[in-house]
Amino acid sequence: MTIRLRPHHFLCLLTYVGKGYSPDFVANYDRIASRISAGEDVEIVAGPDDICAPLLLENDPHCWRESVIQRDQRAILDLGKLDMAIEAGRSITLDADMLARLRIAFGQGRVRSACGGCEWSDLCSSIAAEGFAGARVQTGPAS
């Protein structure tokens, strides 16, 4: 199977430590983090993805809001600076080298424009400052 992720969630997974909007959201994200850590492929999608799934049952889920769509667009631009072509339909395997490279760029603030206005931004900043300790997505050692 393949995990469907919208572009800004590709960045969110770098600092995910088991906190979220609701217990259902966290349980779902934990399953996704485990699958990514096990090497399952990620497909970039436009719009709501597998992480959004529990939120789509709410009235007026934020997943469809223009601000979230703009966050995806900023993530695409930021990741492009790292020569990563993140676009809908692209399949990616997040290996240890890519995860390390992304976390370095995130920690340095080079791929953070998508985080502007996000309620989780301060938490993600502190996780990055602590060397991503406790982050749930882990892959094998970088070469």
For residues 52 and 70, the model is more confident at: 70
- Report if residue 78 sits inside a domain: yes
pLDDT at res. 52? 83
Number of compact structural domains in the chain: 1
pLDDT at res. 29? 92
- Report if residue 64 sits inside a domain: yes
- Report if residue 139 sits inside a domain: no
pTM of the model: 0.89
pLDDT at res. 22? 83
- Report if residue 34 sits inside a domain: yes
- Report if residue 12 sits inside a domain: yes
- pLDDT bin (cut points 50, 70, 90) of residue 139 is confident
Structure-token pair, residue 24: 């259902």
- Report if residue 106 sits inside a domain: yes
For residues 68 and 119, the model is more confident at: 119
Mean pLDDT computed over 60-68: 71
Q: Which residues fall within 8 angstroms of residue 78, CB to CB, at 6 or more apart?
A: 11, 110, 111, 112, 113, 114
The β-bridge partners of 32 are: none
- Report if residue 137 sits inside a domain: no
pLDDT at res. 62? 63
Mean pLDDT computed over 97-109: 95
* Residue span of the structural domain in which 54 resides: 3-129
Helix (H, G, I), strand (E, B) or coil at 44: strand
Task: For the chain, give the percent of residues with pLDDT over 90.
Answer: 65
Give the pLDDT confidence of 6-54 residue by residue, as tens digits: 999 989 999 999 998 788 889 999 999 999 999 999 999 998 889 887 6
Helix (H, G, I), strand (E, B) or coil at 92: strand
- Report if residue 79 sits inside a domain: yes
For residues 63 and 88, the model is more confident at: 88
pLDDT at res. 53? 79
